Structure 1
Amino acid sequence: MDQSAGKIQIRSLVGPVTVSAESIVRVEKRESPWAEYETQRAQSSDTADGNFDLAAWCDRRGLFAERKRHLQRTVELDADHEGARAALGFEKTDAGWILRKPNGGDGQKSGPRPTAAEGADDDERLAAAARVQWRRQIKGIKSIMLESPIAERVDEGQRKILSISDPLAIEPMSEVLVHGDGACRLLLVDALSKFPQDDATANLSLLFLLDREPAVVDRCARELARRKDPRVASQFRAALYVNNHDGVVARAARGLAVVEDKAAVGDLIQVLTVQRDKWVETPVVGLVGGMCRTFNRQTVASADGRRVSVPPVIAFGRGVLANVANVPQFRNVTVYRTEVLEALKALTGQNFGFDVEAWARWYQEQR
């Protein structure tokens, strides 16, 4: 921890963190990860296996720079150490150990060029390794900074997230931040908005369809409208037909209005209303004590010259001893989708309410 000009710089697993001295409530002194590392290093032997074991210890504690240094030392001591070579991204070929670069080019040694399939497999392996590293780093930023009660630390965490420019960070960033609070998810939208890649567009579309925070949904909507990617509209049209999920259908309808997809009008008309079997609460009036159920023998009498048999009717206490209970009943009901109607009005300038036939006639006349 270094202090100067009222600022304190703290060494953390995700890099140096600078905060004002005033924002620190208390200082608790304990052994840092790097002090533990120095102790562990002093107990390790400077052999290939000793450095490799120490690299694994560093990996478990998030000391990635130290991990890499000991893996490199392992290779210095044993050039054919398979575990260290693999961890550093090398691959053994007939020509020797080759370090594959992310762009598919050969590294330290020249050798036979890989086939297209081998090159694709290698790309996937390198991308997966990079995503693992990003996932660890972003988890650290989230837990140490974004979830901190100190505003300055939160601000620094946000800056670190927004400074990420590697497209391979999109998936781990989305996976980690989507489980945060509303502020975390708003930050995720802002970070994804900087990437033009399909990974970012897909995650923004899913956030728009599924997130529960209105501010997150609104920000996604603005970014998706700005992108003008016709594939977004096609996915929203597909989402209209998600069975038994009216929330997704409503959000998809709103999305189609946001991206101004007039080609979706026919689909929206089809899902404007839907018949569904549902349990509904139905009010049932009964008399306290269940008298109607207890005194239930038929009354036989003569009415207008005919013999009739009717159930008993209890009049005394009606309105006084009566009670209303909600009884669940399984019924076929019509679901009226307001968000779909709003989307239709926005896209067409028309308003036929929930009259599906009127909408269909108008739509047919326009074709």
Structure 2
Amino acid sequence: MLRAFWTAILLAGLAAPARAEIFLLDQGGSIEGELLNPHESPRKTYVIKTADGATVTLNRAQVKQVVRRRPNEEQYEQIRPRYPDTVEGQFALAEWCRQNNLPAQRRVHLERVIELDPNHVRARHGLGYSQVGGRWVTQKEAMKEQGLEWYKGRYRTRQEIELLEERQRQEAAEKEWMQKISRWESWLGTDKTAAAREALDSIRDPAAVKGLVQAMRSNPNPNVRLLFVAALGRIGTQEAQKALATFAIEDPVEEVRLSCLDILKVQKNPAAVDFFVGYLRHKDNRLVNRAGVALGQMGDPSAIGPLIDALITTHKYKIQTRPPGQTTSSFGVGPGGAPGPAGLSIGGGGPRIVTEHVQNRAVLDALSTLTGVNYGFDVRAWRAWYTAQRKREAAAFGAN
């Protein structure tokens, strides 16, 4: 019986069906058939011969779009009526669709096969079914039973989907805040300055942090940056505090840096102290000293040990030397772009790397503030004091 079906397919393939198009109408609906005036130019009408032999003429304005079928789609429409509505007939037509790259049509006929024979193995497999515990289930059903759902290209748990959706909402909110902050920033210095300040003063949403950080980095006016610092302080989240700690070190204007520290002192976040301690090891000596200022302001005794280690730091910098035979007395370029030590340079012919041990005044000031004592830059004396102090604290703790 299958051989008869395939013979029918071959005979259908020998026929040359007329090319059919689908004419989508401007008012809704469609007409399918062969276009009898394909070469008319400019196009004024569509003369269409339908499948039942009728001829329909449409004005150009009546047709919204012409969808031309591929040859295999046309051939499918020609041979489809020749297949009986049986298991064998529908499966044979599904196979023809598979071989001719018509997946949507193939699925229709495979679904009809399992309506007629629910246990047809090849049709079930073609539709993505597998047997689980004696039941036919699709991959989607099997995954759902495991608590997984198809989402953005793969199966995921409900918790993962909720996290992704929350992230999308967060990103959308952050983008909206960036646009608002940029708009209010542009109002400053215009007749809308008062409205801009009022809007910036009203910010409390954690989603605004990213927009405020972006504005802090791009605005050259320190007075405007102070408005953004105040907004970050009002938000008060971990992310906002991290931004304030960053600008307490990196902002070029001391007033802005100290304003960040004023807020962080009140909020007393240990993570900010750890952040500043990390900067004590920075290769830029300016930032080492700014970290010292910050730690002195924060007043956290856990910073005493790292501050002692940073009293004197070692930095490398580059100095330019004159060509052989020339002499010059000049300053090199020190850590962070600061002038290096003065000296006489003779000959050399190229840059030279110099190592310098730097005494960090701001670090010493922070130590004196936190401890109430001052051993200057005598690191050995500081360490001896600190060891003795910790032993006293341990003894007192044990006694209690």
- TM-score of the superposed pair, with normalisation by structure 1: 0.54
Tell me, yes or no, if the aligned pair for 1:142 and 1:177 is still in contact at 8 Å. no
Shift of 1:282: 9.0
Matched, 1:163 2:186: no
Q: Deviations over 1:145-168 (max 9, x none)?
A: 12x3x3x42232111111122221
Correspondent of 2:363 among 340, 344, 360: 340
Tell me, yes or no, if the aligned pair for 1:240 and 1:253 is still in contact at 8 Å. yes
Shift of 1:268: 0.8
Shift of 1:279: 3.0
Larger radius of gyration: 2
Partner of 2:306: 267
Q: Deviations over 1:79-137 (max 9, x none)?
A: xxxxxxxxxxxxxxx9xxxxxxxxxxxxxxxxxxx711111100000111111111112
Matched residue type, 1:361: A
Matched, 1:363 2:386: yes
Question: Comparing 329-338 with 249-258, which one deviates more in the overlay?
Answer: 329-338
Tell me, yes or no, if the aligned pair for 1:131 and 1:168 is still in contact at 8 Å. yes
Shift of 1:196: 2.4
Matched, 1:131 2:171: no
Matched residue type, 1:154: T
Tell me, yes or no, if the aligned pair for 1:178 and 1:188 is still in contact at 8 Å. no
Q: Distance in 1 between matches of 2:353 and 2:170?
A: 51
Correspondent of 1:195 among 235, 240, 251: 235
Residue 287 to residue 165, structure 1, CA distance change in 2 (3 Å): closer
Residue 287 to residue 118, structure 1, CA distance change in 2 (3 Å): closer
Q: Secondary structure in 1 aligned to 2:313?
A: strand
Partner of 1:118: 161
Q: Distance in 2 between matches of 1:170 and 1:153?
A: 23
Matched residue type, 1:217: R
Q: Distance in 1 between matches of 2:185 and 2:346?
A: 46
Tell me, yes or no, if the aligned pair for 2:178 and 2:208 is still in contact at 8 Å. yes
Q: Distance in 2 between matches of 1:182 and 1:254?
A: 20
Tell me, yes or no, if the aligned pair for 2:316 and 2:356 is still in contact at 8 Å. yes
Q: Which runs of 5+ in 2 are unaligned?
A: 1-139, 141-156, 328-343, 391-400
Partner of 1:41: none
Residue 366 to residue 161, structure 1, CA distance change in 2 (3 Å): same
Q: Deviations over 1:298-349 (max 9, x none)?
A: xxxxxxxxxxxxxxxxxxxxxxxxxx87987533321111111111111111
Residue 201 to residue 326, structure 1, CA distance change in 2 (3 Å): farther
Tell me, yes or no, if the aligned pair for 2:247 and 2:260 is still in contact at 8 Å. yes
Q: Deviations over 1:275-304 (max 9, x none)?
A: 333335899xx999xxxxxxxxxxxxxxxx
Matched residue type, 1:164: I
Q: Distance in 1 between matches of 2:200 and 2:355?
A: 49
Q: Distance in 2 between matches of 1:177 and 1:273?
A: 32
Correspondent of 2:216 among 160, 165, 177: 177
- Residue pairs, 1:6-25, within 5 angstroms: none
Partner of 1:353: 376
Matched residue type, 1:258: Q
Shift of 1:173: 2.0
Identity %: 28
Q: Which of 1 and 2 has higher RCO (CA within 8 Å, sep 6+)?
A: 1
Q: Secondary structure in 1 aligned to 2:281?
A: coil
Residue 157 to residue 251, structure 1, CA distance change in 2 (3 Å): same
Tell me, yes or no, if the aligned pair for 1:236 and 1:256 is still in contact at 8 Å. yes
Question: Comparing 134-143 with 272-281, which one deviates more in the overlay?
Answer: 272-281
Tell me, yes or no, if the aligned pair for 2:203 and 2:235 is still in contact at 8 Å. no
Residue 127 to residue 355, structure 1, CA distance change in 2 (3 Å): same
Tell me, yes or no, if the aligned pair for 2:285 and 2:315 is still in contact at 8 Å. no
Tell me, yes or no, if the aligned pair for 1:281 and 1:326 is still in contact at 8 Å. no
Q: Which runs of 5+ in 1 are unaligned?
A: 1-93, 95-113, 289-323
- TM-score of the superposed pair, with normalisation by structure 2: 0.49
Q: Secondary structure in 2 aligned to 1:190?
A: helix
Tell me, yes or no, if the aligned pair for 2:326 and 2:346 is still in contact at 8 Å. no
Correspondent of 2:258 among 215, 218, 224: 218
Residue 186 to residue 126, structure 1, CA distance change in 2 (3 Å): same
Partner of 2:21: none
Partner of 2:292: 253
- Residue pairs, 1:1-367, within 5 angstroms: 115-143=158-186, 145-146=187-188, 148=189, 150=190, 152-180=191-219, 181-242=221-282, 244-280=283-319, 329-367=352-390
Matched residue type, 1:177: M
Tell me, yes or no, if the aligned pair for 1:275 and 1:335 is still in contact at 8 Å. yes
